Amino acid sequence: MHVASPELGLPGSSAIVAGTVPLAVGAALALSIQGSDRVSVAFFGDGAAGEGVFYESLNFASLKRLPVIFVCENNLYSTHMPISACLADTDIYKKAEAFNMPGVRIDGNNVVEIYKTAQRATEEARRGNGPTLMECLTYRWRGHVGPNYDLDKGLRSKQELDYWMNRCPIKRLEEFLLDQSTIPDSEKIQIHQEIDNEIEEAVIYAKESPYPDQGALTSNVFRA
């Protein structure tokens, strides 16, 4: 949850809810000062819309017309509560209106729609027209923590889960590419085989790897 890879354009992330939002705004401010044509992007869940820093960031980004895109992955649940139990207004994309910036709601399980929307937002940011808020409606198959489906917790119905599992974005993209004759069946089979092989190699590596030495328990830690 603390991923950073500056060489790939990822300056850092945060485990705090909505923590990535002000970081992205700060990066966008730096890019603006540097005169760069790069665009900063913040990814966060629907729960972030309940944090004050989310609104502060939208306001500052719009005020300074910063090149930043706010991408909300709305999976309809915040931890173990439906979003309607957390937000008085569940239309997250509409919150952009208060800060004089565009806000759009799209199908978060449609890869092509996401790509086209992000492309438009990026072009606007590079033109100096400021930020965009993208609300992508999607769904989490498993629980907030752990591998279970959480059907026993009374959070959701099997019918709801089945509906969203049938809207798997990977399967839908595969169907789109096949319908458009972008890839032949033979290439699809090859891709699936490569993925299966990579997963199998990772599982074998994990099972064969030794446990860390106990002496490493205190390595690379510090006390303030």
Please say whether the beta carbons of 62 and 124 come within 8 A.
no
| Cα dihedral: 41, 45, 46, 47 (round 10) | -120
Please say whether the beta carbons of 92 and 84 come within 8 A.
no
**Which residue type sits at 130?**
G
Dist. CA 106–CA 117, nearest whole Å: 8
Tell me the percentage of the chain whose pLDDT exceeds 90: 80
pLDDT of 97 reads 97
pLDDT of residue 222 exceeding 80, the answer is no
**Phi and psi angles of residue 37, each rounded to the nearest 5 degrees, phi first:** -95, 10
Among residues 13, 135, 131, the alpha carbon closest in space to that of 71 is found at 135
Dist. CA 149–CA 156, nearest whole Å: 9
Per-residue pLDDT, averaged over 178-199, amounts to 94
> What are the Cα distances from residue 18, in Å, to 70, 142, 181, 184, 197?
11, 21, 40, 41, 36
Element (H, E) at 185: helix 185-208
Tell me the pLDDT tens digit for each residue of 1-48.
Answer: 788 899 999 988 888 999 999 999 999 999 999 999 999 999 999 999
pLDDT bracket for residue 150 (50, 70, 90): confident
Of the two residues 123 and 148, the one the predictor is more confident about is: 123
Tell me the pLDDT tens digit for each residue of 41-72.
Answer: 999 999 999 999 999 999 999 999 999 999 99
Query: Residue 101: how many CA atoms within 13 Å on its side-chain side?
Result: 30
Of the two residues 84 and 221, the one the predictor is more confident about is: 84
SS3 category, 159:
helix
Annotate 15-54 with three-state secondary structure: CCCCCHHHHHHHHHHHHHHHCCCCCEEEEEEHHHHHCHHH
